[in-house]
């Protein structure tokens, strides 16, 4: 393959890849970023789809319908007609098309932080009810801050102990590290399937098995997996999982998270935020709390109906094209970004801080450079939007449904130009 060491070579390769892209037609389904280039703050290259996915045109149309119809004319009757079951119905559909979960195990509700708290707290309580000696929560130092903070809070609240795994920032938590960390005192292990900084994909099947052999439960954070990397929760006998919906699932800012609880665990788990919507008989409004059977028990208050609408639209897009096609496109996009980096950007001292093996890499790529913070600020001014991650990471999150290879090419060529200026400065 020709080395991508000139702008012409980069653009030519991007054109070839776009011409062969079987998902290219999907870009027409998203709200355009602006065809006018960078004038007036328009976006030329959006490389942060793993932080906030772009909106589907159909999301705006669906929101308009719900305002004018289900809310506007059916009014409160829509609770009985559709909204009461929406968190479970949408959860089932999400589980089917993106998570490998059979019906009755996924619910859409709350934020990622709240869902993490609910499920980890419920899992810890269930583990300790079975064996009071299980007082340890295993978490890694490289996990996303919310996961670590929630684990710290629960440990303090429940007089549990934290066991820390020191993860390599360039790889992630390995099966061997988990095996060394778990034991007879392990209650739960909290890990991210795809590392938020490096995109390293943890060995979910093997790690889950290791935790089970030690008698513990495992809670997987799927925020950087859902909608782009297969997880197959049922097949691998995962216990608990949580994920957001505003990244590759394009649910929009503040979109609700989802929680997965394997059917075998549901009746022995009681979540800590006991609200009326999770009651077995919510409209009786009696004096005491009785959890609903199944996943409804993990709902607390009124579900965010409007926030679920864009998510529902993206779930159907995933169903239309199939998760394997999106995974393959994500792999191709990240491979292209690495190829351009090797051919053009390494002369500036840029490093690839994500796994080069696509089987170990999620849907984004992180590049390292000492001037990353300043360069990214300059790129944003030009309509190129990557993400900065401490201490020196340029994170490129290329959502496969909405991103073209030409878009990636133009963004990386401007990154090259900014690094050139930084080097001369």
Rounded to an integer, the average pLDDT of 127-132 is 97
In 237-297, the DSSP E strands lie at 240-243, 258-261
Same domain, 275 and 229: yes
Cα–Cα distances in angstroms (integers) from residue 95 to residues 101, 131, 165, 412, in the given order: 5, 31, 29, 35
Which two three-digit tokens encode residue 235? 């097949």
398-417 pLDDT, tens digit each: 999 999 999 999 999 999 99
Please state the pTM of the whole predicted model.
Answer: 0.96
* One domain, residues 20 and 116: no
In a domain, residue 55? The reply is no
Q: What is the pLDDT of residues 205-229, one digit of tens each?
A: 999 999 999 999 999 999 999 999 9
Q: What is the CATH number of the domain that holds 390?
A: 3.90.1150.10
* Predicted confidence (pLDDT) at residue 36 exceeds the cutoff of 60: no
Q: Which residue matches tokens 């201490």?
A: 391
Q: What is the pLDDT of residues 303-318, one digit of tens each?
A: 999 999 999 999 999 9
Q: Are residues 155 and 211 in the same domain?
A: yes
| Residue pair 300/273 in contact by the 8 Å Cβ criterion | yes
pLDDT band at 170 (very low <50, low <70, confident <90, very high): confident
Q: CB pairs under 8 A, 24+ apart, for 6-13?
A: 6/344, 7/413, 7/416, 9/343, 10/340, 10/343, 10/344, 10/409, 10/412, 10/413, 11/406, 11/409, 11/413, 13/336, 13/339, 13/405, 13/409
- Contact in structure between 189 and 219 (CB atoms under 8 Å): yes
Residue 1 has pLDDT above 90, yes or no: no
Strands (E), 244-359: 258-261, 351-352
Peptide bond between residue 7 and the one before it cis (omega within 30 degrees of 0): no
Asked whether residue 38 carries a pLDDT value surpassing 60, the answer given is: no
Write out pLDDT tens, residues 338-385.
999 999 999 999 999 999 999 999 999 999 999 999 999 999 999 999
What does the pLDDT read at residue 3? 86
- Sequential DSSP letters for 324-337: HHHHHHHHHHHHHH
Give the Cα separation of 200 and 192 in Å (integer): 9
Domain, as residue range, for 360: 7-47+322-423
The count of structural domains within the chain is 2
215: left (phi over 0), alpha (psi -120 to 50) or beta: left
The whole-number pLDDT of residue 424 equals: 57
| Residue 373 CB partners (closer than 8 Å, separation 6+) | 388, 392
Residues that are catalytic: 144, 221, 246-247, 395
Do 183 and 123 share a structural domain?
A: yes
For 94-104, write each residue's pLDDT tens digit: 999 999 999 99
Examine the pLDDT at 177 and tell me if it is beyond 80.
yes
pLDDT at residue number 2: 65
Q: Comparing 257-261, 281-285, 331-335, which segment has the lowest mean pLDDT?
A: 281-285
Q: What distance in Å separates the CA atoms of residue 402 and residue 396, rounded to the nearest whole number?
A: 14
Same domain, 303 and 377: no
Q: pLDDT for 267-286, tens place per residue? A: 999 999 999 999 999 999 98
Q: Average model confidence (pLDDT) for the chain?
A: 95
Q: What is the mean pLDDT of residues 331-335?
A: 98
Residue 35 has pLDDT above 60, yes or no: no
In a domain, 2, yes or no: no
Confidence of residue 127 (pLDDT cuts 50, 70, 90): very high
Rounded CA-CA distance 39/54 in Å is: 19
């Amino acid at each position: 393959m020709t080395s991508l060491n000139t702008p012409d070579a980069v653009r030519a390769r991007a054109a070839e890849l776009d011409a062969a892209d079987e998902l290219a037609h999907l870009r027409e389904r998203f709200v355009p970023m602006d065809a006018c280039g960078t004038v007036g703050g328009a976006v030329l290259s959006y490389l942060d789809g793993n932080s906030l996915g772009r909106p589907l045109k159909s999301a705006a149309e669906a929101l308009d319908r719900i305002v004018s119809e289900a809310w506007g004319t059916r009014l409160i009757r829509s609770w009985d007609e559709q909204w009461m079951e929406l968190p479970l119905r949408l959860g089932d559909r999400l589980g089917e098309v993106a998570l490998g979960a059979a019906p009755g195990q996924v619910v859409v509700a709350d934020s990622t932080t709240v869902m993490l708290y609910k499920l980890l707290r419920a899992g810890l309580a269930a583990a300790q009810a079975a064996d009071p000696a299980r007082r340890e929560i295993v978490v890694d130092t490289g996990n996303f801050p919310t996961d670590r903070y929630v684990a710290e809070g629960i440990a303090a609240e429940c007089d549990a102990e934290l066991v820390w795994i020191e993860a390599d920032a360039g790889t992630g938590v390995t099966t061997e590290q988990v095996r060394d960390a778990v034991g007879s005192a392990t209650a739960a292990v909290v890990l991210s399937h795809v590392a938020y900084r490096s995109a390293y994909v943890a060995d979910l099947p093997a790690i889950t098995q290791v935790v089970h052999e030690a008698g513990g439960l495992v809670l997987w954070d799927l925020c950087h997996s859902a909608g782009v990397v297969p997880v197959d929760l049922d097949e691998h006998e995962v216990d608990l999982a949580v994920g957001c919906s505003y990244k590759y699932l394009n649910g929009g800012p503040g979109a609700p998270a989802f929680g997965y609880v394997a059917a075998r665990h549901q009746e022995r788990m009681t979540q800590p935020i006991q609200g009326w919507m999770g009651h077995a008989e919510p409209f009786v409004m009696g004096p005491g709390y009785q959890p609903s059977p199944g996943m409804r028990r993990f709902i607390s208050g009124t579900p965010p109906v409007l926030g679920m609408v864009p998510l529902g639209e993206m779930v159907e897009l995933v169903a239309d094209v199939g998760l394997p096609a999106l995974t393959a496109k994500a792999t191709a996009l990240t491979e292209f970004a690495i190829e351009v980096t090797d051919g053009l950007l390494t002369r500036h001292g840029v490093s690839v801080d994500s796994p080069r093996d696509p089987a170990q890499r999620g849907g984004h790529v992180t590049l390292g450079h000492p001037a990353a913070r300043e360069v990214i600020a300059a790129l944003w001014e030009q309509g190129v939007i990557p993400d900065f991650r401490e201490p020196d990471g340029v994170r490129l999150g290329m959502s496969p449904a909405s991103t073209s290879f030409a878009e990636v090419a133009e963004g990386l060529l401007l990154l090259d130009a900014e690094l050139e200026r930084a080097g001369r400065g």
